[in-house]
Structure 1
Amino acid sequence: MFSNITEIDELVNRHVLYRQNCLNLIASENCSSLAVRNHLTSDFGNRYGCYSTADPANREYRGNKYIHEFEMKTQDLVKDVFGAAYADLRPIGGHIAGVASVLGLLSPHDLVLEIHLRDWGHGLVTLMREASHLQESIRLEFIPFDEDRAVDLPGLLRMIHDLKPRMIIFGGSGMLWPEPIAEIKEIASREGIILVHDSSHVNGLIAGGVFPNPLQQGVDVMIGSTHKSFPGPQGGFILTNDGEIYKKIGNTLGASLVTSHHLQRLPALAVAMLEMKAFGKEYGTQVIKNSQALGRYMEEDGFRVIGSARGYSQTHLILVDVSEFGSGLEISKQLEKANILCSDDFGQLDRELRIGTAEVTRNGMREGDMKFIADCFRRIIIEKEEPGQVAEDIRGFTEHYRDCLYALK
């Protein structure tokens, strides 16, 4: 238990120092610039923004005229960056945005196709169905994938023909390649299938114009979070070009799922959006180059990298099958002892590591630096070197990469 502010500050500072000496390769994290962090502290954090979807100006709480102006301008900025007609920034995370989309657009017993957790899906409907009444009211099947962890388009088309789903949710936490949205848009429109894209992991790349924009490809709804490849504060959003869909999801979101939507994040989000407008293409291009270089170096060091025949990755991450060396979970724990932070596959197949390049790219690392990172994995996983020496080498390496690039000052 804390007894004074000094103790609080000391523990926070220990965390900061520790993370400075780590290689953060967690694909669902990123570093925010000083400009973004400085805009997380304001009087907004003590206010309520509860309002209806159709008329955000009609708020339940008084005294928000400037907050309303700020939120509308931030919505316009988000719509501009992502090419959307409508934006709802009330979700406090990508998962809440997804829950609102599913509940707002489906009827009882509709069938949803989503990505299985074993294929690094977010498990949106899977987790929703852990509530017994939702298990009874939402049917679920899974999108097929090939050995390169790309969507199996012929298999998906067969599922659409045979099962007649009401909704398909693309996007996952281990996304290596763009999904075949354009290829199924015509049949989806003809059959009345709602297309949703969970862009939580790739929306920083979408904002930079280096990954296909799902809205431009024809999805009905784009949902996501703002703190993965997109380097903003934690939060979520819902984007669409359909006014009726916007209202249905929004009226489900608030006030049943979200009332106060953490207004303090909006100034920081606006700054991050401006950073992506200014530097997004340069940043996103380097992220993908780093992913591909890391995949190549990992393969040279003796690892089986998923999708190597296709160039390893077109996103901010690579997937590595480490099953010949042991359990993915245990290996990730051993890597952590060496100050290497990455994700195992959350207990699904217990054989893969997900390694992200977004944060190290913002720290200033480029393709050549990926060789050092790959060698650190080799030293721990293959050569079974003691983690302490590797951690010490990483500490010396990261001293040169503590900036936050692609940022406004």
Structure 2
Amino acid sequence: MNIYKIFDMLLEQESNKYKTINLIPSENEATPLSRLPLMLDIYNRYFFNVKQKSNEWFFRGAQEVHEIETEVAIPLLQELGQAKYVNLRPLSGLNCSLIVLKALGGGIGANILAVSPEQGGHFATKNLGESIGLNVEFIHALDEHNIDFNCLESKLEKENIHLVYVDQSNCLFPIDIEKLVETVKRMSPKTIVHVDVSHWLGLIFGNVMKNPLALGADSFGGSTHKTFPGPQKAIFFTNNIEIEQKVKEVQSYMVSSHHFGAVASLAISLLEFRDCGGFDYAQRIVGNAKILASELHRLGYDVKGKEHGYTVGHQVWMSTDMTGISSYEASERLYKVGIRVNVNNTLPGFQGKLALRLGVNEITRHGAQLEDMLELATIMDDAIRERVPVKLLQQRVGKIRTKYIDSYGFSMDDNELHNLCMQIFSTSIKEVKVTEKC
């Protein structure tokens, strides 16, 4: 494969996104404006001098633009995250998890509790903890949505638990964090409670879900590209200076360059969230998820959570098996018409069978309304049951996808902003001479 083939593929991918609805809950599309720093010189630079000391500019590559982190990204994270201390250096959700487990887990031989995969806990948490010598046990669950608080009390009373790590990556209804914290602090006051909010960050910033710190948790954090439509990165929040220092110390040797281009991208995403309707976006996610789930149930699919209102976040879980069409086959039929879904065999309540984990976060970021969710459910039904020709369904998918272009971001109709972007892009590729060949 040569360079031309690679760029042909990239062009096709970029063109096809306008014909595609992505319903994968762990993905989101950051705005074009916020992605611009990822192709600039800033992407290649290191920045360590957070306190901006005049005698500590050992890496000077980002010196001219360091305020993007110190005066934009960090203050906005403190504001939206309602936290005194923020660490934006983790590179990804799993990288942040490993840093937290190393910093707060208690060290080799210490006991921690995590959420079991049967209740939506992340598949990697146990292995990550054990890889650094922690003893990882799962919190006992009553069902796929509720933990057994009596069992939790007993475990906290009998064992020395250093950390309770709440990490629901598959989740329709989050664990009651306020009750969990109350139980932990009553039974074992020194036990730390950390909440991984990778899937919920945008909903917490948008005040749709309560901030874990306000509910008594010691810290929270997670990735920045799910319900929050930012770059692929992660952040950590706390109001406890000792916890902040422990995490900072571990992070300092687990992350070298924290990808300053992604920091600039995050800063722009945060500005857009605050100033361009992020709070409305967060509210709309939940409404869109509920209506999509309800309509898919009405159309005859096995959609989980009906008795509780289907979902309180962005995720919708469904199986097509009862129609005689396997969930994997359904995902292939949806793919053909331009709908991307997550096939999953670890969703609580499906007993290890393949099911579809859907997320409305990205299509909502694009501007989709409730009526679009009704049409989307009908398209999905027509595609799965093969009632309508693929080409016609592709047209209907494209109509929804391109219905709203400049949602929840700074508009490129702003002439000054548009001209600045064009100038930046032009400057970035200035040294490329198309007449030269390698």
The alpha carbon displacement at 1:251 in A equals 1.3
**TM-score for the superposition, normalised by structure 2:** 0.83
The alpha carbon displacement at 1:329 in A equals 4.1
Partner of 1:284: 282
- Say which SS state the counterpart of residue 3 (structure 2) adopts: coil
Partner of 1:364: 367
Check the 8 A contact 1:335/1:387 in 2, yes or no: no
2:353 to 341, 350, 355: 350
The C-alpha deviation readout for 1:157-207, integer Å capped at 9, x for no partner, is 444445443211223222222321211323323412111111111101111
Partner of 2:394: 392
Partner of 1:165: 161
**TM-score for the superposition, normalised by structure 1:** 0.89
Q: Percent identity?
A: 27
Instruction: Please give the alpha-carbon distance, in whole angstroms, between the structure 1 residues aligned to 2:159 and 2:297.
Output: 39
Partner of 1:262: 259
The C-alpha deviation readout for 1:327-355, integer Å capped at 9, x for no partner, is 54454334323322111225671332211
Instruction: Please give the alpha-carbon distance, in whole angstroms, between the structure 1 residues aligned to 2:102 and 2:125.
Output: 10
Partner of 2:115: 115
Instruction: Please give the alpha-carbon distance, in whole angstroms, between the structure 1 residues aligned to 2:197 and 2:42.
Output: 27
The C-alpha deviation readout for 1:7-28, integer Å capped at 9, x for no partner, is 4432212002222212211111
Residue 373 (structure 1) aligned with residue 376 (structure 2): yes
Partner of 2:427: none
Aligned residues: 399
- Say which SS state the counterpart of residue 344 (structure 1) adopts: strand
Instruction: Please give the alpha-carbon distance, in whole angstroms, between the structure 2 residues aligned to 1:223 and 1:389.
Output: 42
The C-alpha deviation readout for 1:101-139, integer Å capped at 9, x for no partner, is 1011222222222223343322342231574xx3xx211
The alpha carbon displacement at 1:400 in A equals 4.0
Cα separation, partners in 2 of 1:269 and 1:399, compared to 1, 3 Å: closer
Instruction: Please give the alpha-carbon distance, in whole angstroms, between the structure 1 residues aligned to 2:96 and 2:184.
Output: 22
The alpha carbon displacement at 1:301 in A equals 0.9
Partner of 2:24: 26
Instruction: Please give the alpha-carbon distance, in whole angstroms, between the structure 1 residues aligned to 2:287 and 2:336.
Output: 28
Partner of 1:210: 208
Partner of 2:426: none
Deviates more, 1:66-75 or 1:87-96: 66-75
Instruction: Please give the alpha-carbon distance, in whole angstroms, between the structure 1 residues aligned to 2:267 and 2:193.
Output: 27
Q: Write the letter of the residue equivalent to 2:33.
A: A
Cα separation, partners in 2 of 1:147 and 1:388, compared to 1, 3 Å: farther
Q: Write the letter of the residue equivalent to 1:354.
A: R
Please, which runs of 5 or more residues in structure 1 have no aligned partner? none
- Say which SS state the counterpart of residue 355 (structure 1) adopts: strand
1:12 to 7, 10, 13: 10
How do 1:118-137 and structure 2 match up within 5 A?
A: 118-128=118-128, 131=131, 134=132, 137=133
Residue 182 (structure 1) aligned with residue 178 (structure 2): yes
Residue 304 (structure 1) aligned with residue 302 (structure 2): yes
Partner of 1:273: 270
- Say which SS state the counterpart of residue 214 (structure 1) adopts: coil
The alpha carbon displacement at 1:83 in A equals 0.6
Deviates more, 1:342-351 or 1:308-317: 342-351
Check the 8 A contact 1:327/1:350 in 2, yes or no: no
Q: Write the letter of the residue equivalent to 2:299.
A: D
Check the 8 A contact 2:21/2:401 in 1, yes or no: no
The alpha carbon displacement at 1:63 in A equals 4.7
Check the 8 A contact 1:338/1:387 in 2, yes or no: no
Instruction: Please give the alpha-carbon distance, in whole angstroms, between the structure 1 residues aligned to 2:342 and 2:202.
Output: 20
Cα separation, partners in 2 of 1:124 and 1:321, compared to 1, 3 Å: same
Instruction: Please give the alpha-carbon distance, in whole angstroms, between the structure 2 residues aligned to 1:248 and 1:163.
Output: 23
Please, which runs of 5 or more residues in structure 2 have no aligned partner? 412-438
Partner of 1:2: 2
Higher-Rg structure is 2
